[in-house]
Structure 1
Amino acid sequence: MRRLIPTGDPASPVAFDEVPQPVPEPDEALVKVEAFAPNRGETFLLEHPRPGLLPGKDVAGLVVQAAADGSGPAIGARVVGHPPQGGWAEYAAVPTHSLAVLPDGVDRVRAAALPLAGITALRLLRTAGSLVGRRVLLTGASGGVGHFVTELAVAGGAELTAVTATPERGARLAELGARVVHEVAAARGPFDVVLESIGGPDLHAALLKVRPGGLLVWFGQAGRAPVTLDFFQLLGGPERVTIQHFHYAGAPYGPDLTALVSLVEQGRLHPEIGRTAPWEETADTLIDLRERRIRGKAVLLVGGTRPAAEARRSTAARIPGGAR
């Protein structure tokens, strides 16, 4: 089978290789991958790939071999999965606890866009607690996680301010009900909860926007600059603020994937797909994703260009209520 492997070359970060099909463990299903979605964090790993790195954590496809232990979906089931690695390939072995069956109304493109970003958003909002009537600040909001957090938080009753680099990247979030600004300093606080994902000086600026006794959840460092906090500068800011570190990881992922798929099927969650392309274009897509030239998620299709009907469904899925 064909698999994409790291090259270590920033100008062309992956290349195809011919390898044997994976042999599933007893609690794993073999999935014929039809679509996968790279994440920006994976583009950073590809800059200096560790030995044995097999990228790919967000996949959608078809079960062609059920798990030997009897767990999980049967042969022929359409699924979305979140394997530990190895998803950028024609076949992937996925633990059954990290699979969810897709209903007919959810296509492979939207499904592939769900796992890492969607699970992160769900678990991040659970960490923040009830948001009904609360003021929330979200930094680094224009990626996949930011889109899902915005849609779910606003639907849950939050008054959300989203920080994006440009008006174009914030337009979709404004449609979802967020107040959009383009730097943390422009956000009108104080906020009950701050969800911070840029790092560098932005974390300190965001911390000053929290109300006394409020919460800042630090869940990323997309700006790639380390954070430096000056205790004496903070003395003039809000008191008794809690800073909580957050990382989404921890199987099982199946229940959260099932919840996300259900929200999509019900029309309550609309993955933003900034690009859909055949997987032969993965290297270029990874570069554009790394350089923030793609808004929302990118989805690569394994085995050829998508049918026209699926293209129409994917485009319509970007906007609640369908295409316009």
Structure 2
Amino acid sequence: MRRLIPTGDAARPVAFAEAPQPVPEPGEVLVKVEAFAPNRGETFLLERPRPGLLPGKDVAGLVVQAAADGTGPGVGTRVVGHPASGGWAEYAAVPTPSLAVLPDTLDHVRAAALPLAGITALRLLRTAGSLAGRRVLLTGASGGVGHYVTELAVGSGAELTAVTATPERGRRLAELGATVVHEVAAADGPFDVVLESTGGPALPAALARTRPGGTLVWFGQAGRTPVTLDFFDLLTGPERVTIQHFHYAGAPYGPDLAALVRLVGQGRLHPEIGRTADWTHTADTLVDLRERRIRGKAVLTIDKEREGDHR
């Protein structure tokens, strides 16, 4: 089969290679991948790839081999999955607790856009607690996570302000009900909850707009600049603010994937896909994703020419 492997070249981060078909563990199914969605964090890993790195955490496709231990869906079932790695390939082994079955109404392109960004959004909002009637600030809002957070938070009754780099990147967020600004300094605080994903100077600026007793949840550093906090600046700002570190990983992903699939089916969640392309365009797409030239998610589809090839 074919898979994409790291090259170490920033201009062409991946290239095709022939590889053996994965051999699933007893609790894994073998999925014929129809679409996958790279994440911006994966583009950072490709800059200096560690030996043996096989990227790919978001896949949608068809089960072609059921799990040997009897768990999970059977052969012929359409699924969305979140494997630990190896999803940028014609076939991927996916643990059955990291799968959800797809209804006929949900295509593989939208499904592939759900896993990492959608699970992160769900778990981030659970961490933030009930948002009905609360004022929320979201930084770095125009990526995949930001669109899901915005739609879910606004749908739950939050008054959400989203920070994006440009008006174009914020247009869809405004349509979803967010107030859009283009720098943290322009956000009209104070906010009950701040969801901060940019790092650098954005975090202290967002912290200064948190109400006394409020919460800042720090879930990323997309700006790739370390954060510096001055203790004495905090003394002149809001008191008793809680800063909470967040990472989405942990607990089986299947139930959250099933919840995301259900929300899409109910029309309560709409994946924002800024680019869909054949996987032969993966290298260019990764560069554009890294350089923030894609709004929302990018999804790569695998051609059907080798559909019968199970080598």
Q: Which residue of 2 aligns with 1:310?
A: none
Which SS does the other structure have where 1:23 is aligned? coil
Alpha carbons 1:278, 1:304 under 8 Å: kept: no
Aligned residue type for 2:102: L
Does residue 42 of structure 2 align to residue 42 of structure 1? yes
Question: What is the deviation of 1:303?
Answer: 1.4
Q: Which residue of 1 aligns with 2:72?
A: 72
- RMSD, aligned α-carbons: 0.8
Q: Which residue of 2 aligns with 1:282?
A: 282
Q: Quote the Cα distance in structure 2 between the aligned partners of 1:127 and 1:173.
A: 22
Q: Quote the Cα distance in structure 2 between the aligned partners of 1:299 and 1:201.
A: 31
Which SS does the other structure have where 2:9 is aligned? coil
Aligned residue type for 1:107: D
Q: Which residue of 2 aligns with 1:258?
A: 258
Alpha carbons 1:98, 1:251 under 8 Å: kept: no
Does residue 22 of structure 2 align to residue 25 of structure 1? no
Structure 1 segments of 4+ aligned residues over 6 angstroms from their partners: none
Q: Which residue of 2 aligns with 1:52?
A: 52
Q: Which residue of 2 aligns with 1:101?
A: 101
1:11-61 CA distances to partner (integer Å, 9 max, x unpaired)?
100000001000000000000000000000000000000011000000000
Question: What is the deviation of 1:304?
Answer: 5.4
Which SS does the other structure have where 1:169 is aligned? helix
Question: What is the deviation of 1:251?
Answer: 3.6
Identical positions, percent = 85
Which SS does the other structure have where 1:215 is aligned? strand
Does residue 246 of structure 2 align to residue 246 of structure 1? yes
Q: Quote the Cα distance in structure 1 between the aligned partners of 2:135 and 2:259.
A: 25
Q: With the length of structure 2 as denominator, give the TM-score of the two structures.
A: 0.97
Q: Quote the Cα distance in structure 2 between the aligned partners of 1:176 and 1:201.
A: 27
Q: Quote the Cα distance in structure 2 between the aligned partners of 1:230 and 1:149.
A: 29
Q: Quote the Cα distance in structure 2 between the aligned partners of 1:251 and 1:279.
A: 30
Alpha-carbon spacing, 1:275–1:304, altered in 2? closer, same or farther (3 Å): farther
Q: Which residue of 2 aligns with 1:313?
A: none
Q: Quote the Cα distance in structure 2 between the aligned partners of 1:54 and 1:276.
A: 21
Q: Which residue of 1 aligns with 2:114?
A: 114
Question: What is the deviation of 1:112?
Answer: 0.1
Q: Which residue of 1 aligns with 2:140?
A: 140
Q: Which residue of 2 aligns with 1:315?
A: none
Map 1:146-225 to 2 at 5 A. 146-225=146-225
Aligned residue type for 2:133: G
Question: What is the deviation of 1:233?
Answer: 1.1
Aligned residue type for 2:244: Q
Q: How many pairs were matched up?
A: 305
1:62-121 CA distances to partner (integer Å, 9 max, x unpaired)?
000000000000000000000000000000000000000000110000000000000000
- Extract unaligned runs of 5+ from structure 1: 306-324
Q: Which residue of 2 aligns with 1:230?
A: 230
Q: Quote the Cα distance in structure 2 between the aligned partners of 1:304 and 1:79.
A: 17
Q: With the length of structure 1 as denominator, give the TM-score of the two structures.
A: 0.93
1:267-287 CA distances to partner (integer Å, 9 max, x unpaired)?
110000100000000000000
Q: Quote the Cα distance in structure 1 between the aligned partners of 2:157 and 2:295.
A: 25
Aligned residue type for 2:19: V
Q: Which residue of 1 aligns with 2:4?
A: 4
